[in-house]
């Protein structure tokens, strides 16, 4: 990939990573913690009869404790999975299959991650009643709407903590109180917010929490589900069978190196979250100011406050975001629109917020993180502003010859 970018943009180009909401680089301290569990301490955590197995299970339990501490949960309530998507499936399907005799109503929001929405869609075909709540123009849920939607026959409310496209933070504590009052369980997708903003499963009254390591400077391929053990206890129908690991909720040999890395990432986040968030928020404000100072027609999607520090989603008037990103492949960014089955479709999140397709297609998501520097922000902003100005002056034509001519004129 680096060779491809060098050929496209020149040898002096240095790639800039601003897509930390998609995934984060592994923190070197996390990698250092993991390496021994690939080599010297490679035992299976289910092997209880020898030292190698004992060391593996000890490392797993230490990681479980670190993750529990980060969300104010007891360690035994942490169930390891392959990632947040599996955790979401276990939480939602597990509740639906266990408690369907008590009720078949599930409440969620239209702006949830596809991991949640696709599971919900599947349950709807199985006869569950699904209530999909609207959001306002900033991506927030109305608590009155939640209060009205959660009826006595509701078994589950599934609302994400921080939106993965615009960074909107929902009032999970208030939603949790509503769900608890009606006897419904609250599931929260916290893949984006874990370790970046405080989470307390007790004060927020969260019963199920889906999380992942790779959004927290840990490795890919490992996640966890917090499953409340008391007041109230949540019982889940397992979705993976074959050995009864993780208290019967998720069978399969544990990914010990990945789990160790997740635990190390959680411990680091617990110690450094406040400082990290303040620094990243400063960078976010610096980036937004640079964009606004350099170009008119910059609009933030979502609120500038009450959002995840590292997320900035902006629409740049009179440009197409995909065309912009195609011209700056050395900068890792995401668009605010997605394509499915080769048919352009506006982002479902931005559409739910009421954005017109033109603005949705002009939207770019910046994901800033622990290792983002101010110099990278300045360099990226300069390149984006120049390219956006070029596109406004002479938009790409369908004909390759016209496009080439246009680029030459603009330079």
| Residues labelled catalytic | 339
Give the separation between CA 141 and CA 163, rounded to whole angstroms. Answer: 12
Q: Which residues of 285-312 are buried (b: 16+ CB within 10 A; e: fewer)?
A: eebbebbeeebeebebbbbeeebbbbbb
Distance of alpha carbon 255 from the chain centroid = 21
Number of helices (H) and strands (E) in the chain: give both, helices first.
13, 15
Query: For the residues of 94-155, what is the DSSP string, one character each?
Result: HHHHHHTTT--EEEEETTS-HHHHHHHHHHHHTT-EEEEE-B-TTSPBPHHHHHHH--TTEE
Instruction: Report residue 200 as tokens.
Output: 């307390």
Other CB atoms within a 10 A radius of the CB of residue 245 amount to 18
Rounded to whole angstroms, the Cα distance separating 261 from 26 reads 9
- Read off the tokens for 13: 């180009």
What torsion do the CA atoms of 372, 374, 376, 379 make, to the nearest 10 degrees? Answer: 160
Distance between CA 215 and CA 333 in Å, rounded?
15
């Amino acid at each position: 990939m680096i060779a491809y970018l060098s050929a496209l943009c020149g040898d002096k180009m240095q790639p800039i990573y601003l897509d930390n909401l998609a995934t984060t680089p592994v923190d070197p301290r996390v990698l250092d913690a993991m390496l021994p569990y690939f080599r010297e301490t490679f035992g299976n955590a289910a092997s209880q009869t020898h030292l190698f197995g004992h060391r593996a299970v000890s490392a797993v339990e230490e990681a479980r404790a670190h993750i529990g501490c980060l969300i104010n949960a007891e360690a035994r309530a942490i169930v390891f999975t392959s990632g947040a998507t599996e955790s979401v499936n276990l939480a939602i399907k597990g509740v639906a299959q266990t408690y369907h005799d008590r009720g078949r109503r599930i409440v969620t929001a239209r702006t949830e991650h596809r991991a949640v929405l696709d599971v919900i869609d599947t349950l709807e075909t199985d006869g569950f009643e699904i209530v999909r709540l609207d959001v306002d123009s900033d991506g927030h849920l109305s608590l009155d709407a939640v209060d009205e939607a959660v009826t006595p026959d509701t078994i589950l409310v599934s609302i994400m903590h921080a939106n993965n496209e615009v960074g909107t933070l929902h009032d999970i504590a208030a939603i949790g109180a509503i769900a608890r009052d009606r006897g419904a369980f609250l599931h929260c997708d916290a893949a984006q917010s874990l370790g970046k903003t405080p989470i307390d499963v007790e004060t927020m009254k969260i019963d199920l929490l889906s999380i992942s390591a790779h959004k927290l400077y840990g490795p890919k391929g490992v996640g966890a589900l917090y499953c409340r053990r008391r007041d109230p206890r949540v019982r889940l129908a397992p979705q993976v069978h074959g050995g009864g690991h993780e208290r019967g909720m998720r069978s399969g040999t544990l990914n010990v190196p990945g789990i160790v890395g997740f635990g190390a990432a959680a411990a680091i986040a617990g110690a450094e979250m406040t400082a990290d968030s303040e620094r990243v928020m400063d960078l976010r404000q610096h980036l937004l100011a640079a964009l606004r100072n350099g170009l008119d027609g910059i609009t933030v999607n979502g609120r500038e406050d009450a959002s995840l520090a590292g997320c900035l989603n902006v629409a740049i008037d009179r440009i197409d975001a995909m065309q912009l990103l195609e011209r700056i492949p050395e900068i890792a960014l995401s668009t605010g629109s997605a394509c499915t089955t080769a048919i352009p479709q506006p982002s479902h999140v931005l559409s739910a917020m009421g954005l017109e397709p033109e603005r949705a297609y002009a939207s770019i998501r910046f994901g800033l993180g622990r290792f983002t520097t101010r110099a990278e922000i300045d360099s990226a902003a300069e390149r984006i502003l120049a390219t956006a100005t070029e596109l406004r002056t002479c938009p790409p034509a369908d004909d390759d010859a016209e496009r080439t001519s246009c680029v030459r004129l603009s330079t």
